[in-house]
Chains A and B, each alone.
Chain A
Amino acid sequence: MQKVFGGSVGHSVKLKNGEPVAGFRMTSCRRATALSSAVRAAAMILVSLAFSFSGGAFANTHEYTLGNGLKLIVKEDHRSPVVISQIWYKAGSIDEVNGVTGVAHVLEHMMFKGTEKVPGGEFSTRIAAAGGRENAFTSRDYTAYYQQLHKSRLPLAMELESDRMRNLVLTEEDFAQEIKVVMEERRLRTDDQPRALVHEKMMATAYQSHPYRHPVVGWMNDLENMSVHDAQAWYDRWYVPNNAVLVVVGDVNPQQVFVLARKYYGHIKSGKVLPLDKRKPQAEPSQLGTKRLTVKAPARLPYLAMAYHAPALRNPDTDWEPYALEMLAGVLDGNESARLNKELVREQRIASSAGASYDSTARGPGMFYLDGTPSEGKTASELETALRAEVEKLVRDGVTAEELARVKAQVVASHVFQLDSMSFQAMQIGQLESIGLSYRDEDTILRKLQAVTAEQVRDVAKKYLRDESLTVAVLDPQPLEQKAPAAAPAGLRH
Chain B
Amino acid sequence: MHVMRCLFFLLAGVYSQWAFATLPIQHWQASSGARVFFVESRELPILDVSVDFSAGSSTDTREKSGRAGMTLYLSSLGAGGLTEDQISKALADVGAQLGAHFDEDRAGLTLRTLSSARERGRALDILGRVVQHPAFDINVLEREKVRVVAGLREADTKPDNIADRTLMKMLYGNHPYGLRGSGEIDSVSALQREDLVDLHRSRYSAADAVVSIMGDVSRAEAAAIAESLTKELVQEKPVYNLLEVTAPIADTKRISHPATQSHIQLAYPGLRRDDPDYFPLLVGNHILGGGGFTSRLMEEIRRKRGLAYSVHSHFSPLREQGPFEIGLQTQKEQSEEALALTRKILADFVAGGPTEEELAAAKQNIIGSFPLRIDSNRKIISYLAMIGFYKLPLTYLDDYVKAVAKVTVSQVSEAFRRRIDPMGMVAVVVGAESKK
Could you tell me which A residues sit within 8 Å of B by CB distance? 12-19, 33-47, 79-82, 112, 121, 124-125, 128-134, 148-150, 152-153, 176-185, 187-188, 191-192, 298-301, 334-338, 342, 345-346, 349, 352, 373, 375-376, 405-407, 409-414, 416-417, 419-422, 477, 480-484, 487-488, 493-494
Nearest-CB residue, chain A, relative to B57: A39
B342 in the interface (beta carbon within 8 A): no
Q: Are B143 and A352 in contact (CB under 8 A)?
A: no
CB distance from B119 to the nearest CB of A (A): 7
Q: Are A417 and B97 in contact (CB under 8 A)?
A: yes
Q: B114: which of A37, A300, A413 is its contact (CB, 8 Å)?
A: A413
Interface contacts (Cβ under 8 Å), in number, total: 317
A38-B183, A47-B97 known; A17-B364 Cβ under 8 A: no
Q: Are A17 and B303 in contact (CB under 8 A)?
A: no
A39-B182, A133-B369, A181-B308 known; A298-B259 Cβ under 8 A: yes
Q: Are B150 and A480 in contact (CB under 8 A)?
A: no
Rounded to whole angstroms, the CA-CA distance of A152 and B371 in the bound complex is 12
Collect the chain B residues with CB atoms within 8 Å of residue A417's CB: 46, 97, 112
Q: B308: which of A121, A132, A184 is its contact (CB, 8 Å)?
A: A184
B424 in the interface (beta carbon within 8 A): no
Nearest-CB residue, chain B, relative to A299: B157
Nearest-CB residue, chain B, relative to A485: B258
Rounded to whole angstroms, the CA-CA distance of A433 and B350 in the bound complex is 49
**Can you identify 16 A-B contacts, CB atoms within 8 angstroms?**
A15-B160, A17-B7, A39-B69, A46-B99, A80-B371, A112-B293, A128-B365, A133-B372, A150-B15, A177-B304, A191-B261, A298-B258, A352-B150, A373-B150, A416-B44, A487-B259
CB distance from A492 to the nearest CB of B (A): 9
B155 in the interface (beta carbon within 8 A): yes
A184-B307, A335-B91, A416-B44 known; A43-B100 Cβ under 8 A: yes
Q: Are B150 and A180 in contact (CB under 8 A)?
A: no
Q: B46: which of A18, A299, A416 is its contact (CB, 8 Å)?
A: A416
B223 in the interface (beta carbon within 8 A): no
Q: Are A376 and B368 in contact (CB under 8 A)?
A: no
A18-B8, A41-B147 known; A36-B161 Cβ under 8 A: yes
Collect the chain B residues with CB atoms within 8 Å of residue A80's CB: 371, 374-376
B244 in the interface (beta carbon within 8 A): no
CB distance from A18 to the nearest CB of B (A): 7
* One of B226-234, B310-318, B387-395 contacting the partner: B310-318
Q: A192: which of B91, B260, B365, B368 is its contact (CB, 8 Å)?
A: B260
Nearest 3 A/B pairs, CB to CB: A131-B368, A413-B95, A180-B306
Nearest-CB residue, chain A, relative to B361: A129
Q: Are A300 and B96 in contact (CB under 8 A)?
A: no
Collect the chain B residues with CB atoms within 8 Å of residue A192's CB: 159, 259-261
A121-B299, A148-B372, A191-B260 known; A375-B146 Cβ under 8 A: yes
A35-B147, A38-B148, A421-B378 known; A129-B45 Cβ under 8 A: no
Q: Are A185 and B309 in contact (CB under 8 A)?
A: yes
B221 in the interface (beta carbon within 8 A): no
B292 in the interface (beta carbon within 8 A): yes
Identify whether the interface residues of B are mostly helix, strand, loop, or mixed: mixed
Q: B92: which of A14, A47, A129, A352 is its contact (CB, 8 Å)?
A: A47
Q: Are B143 and A349 in contact (CB under 8 A)?
A: yes
Q: B310: which of A13, A34, A373, A416 is its contact (CB, 8 Å)?
A: A13
Q: Are B99 and A43 in contact (CB under 8 A)?
A: yes
A46-B97, A47-B97 known; A38-B182 Cβ under 8 A: yes
A192-B260, A349-B143, A409-B94 known; A42-B69 Cβ under 8 A: yes
Q: Interface centre among A19, A345, A482, by most B CB within 10 Å?
A: A19
A132-B369, A187-B331, A494-B333 known; A12-B292 Cβ under 8 A: yes
Collect the chain A residues with CB atoms within 8 Å of residue B89's CB: 335, 337, 406
Collect the chain A residues with CB atoms within 8 Å of residue B329's CB: 184, 187-188
B294 in the interface (beta carbon within 8 A): yes
Produce 1/0 per residue, B70-82, CB < 8 A to A.
1011001000000
Nearest-CB residue, chain A, relative to B183: A38
Nearest-CB residue, chain B, relative to A176: B306
Collect the chain B residues with CB atoms within 8 Å of residue A410's CB: 92, 95
Collect the chain A residues with CB atoms within 8 Å of residue B182's CB: 37-40, 42
Rounded to whole angstroms, the CA-CA distance of A40 and B156 in the bound complex is 15
Q: Are A409 and B92 in contact (CB under 8 A)?
A: yes
A80-B374, A300-B153 known; A128-B291 Cβ under 8 A: yes
Collect the chain B residues with CB atoms within 8 Å of residue A376's CB: 146, 149-150
Collect the chain A residues with CB atoms within 8 Å of residue B15's CB: 131, 150
Knowing that A44-B73, A152-B18, A192-B260 are A-B contacts, what are 18 other residue pairs whose CB atoms are under 8 Å apart, sorted by A's residue number? A18-B8, A36-B155, A40-B1, A40-B182, A41-B147, A41-B148, A47-B91, A79-B41, A82-B371, A121-B303, A128-B364, A129-B365, A298-B257, A301-B150, A301-B154, A410-B92, A413-B113, A477-B157
B210 in the interface (beta carbon within 8 A): no
Q: Are B260 and A493 in contact (CB under 8 A)?
A: yes
Collect the chain A residues with CB atoms within 8 Å of residue B306's CB: 176-181, 184
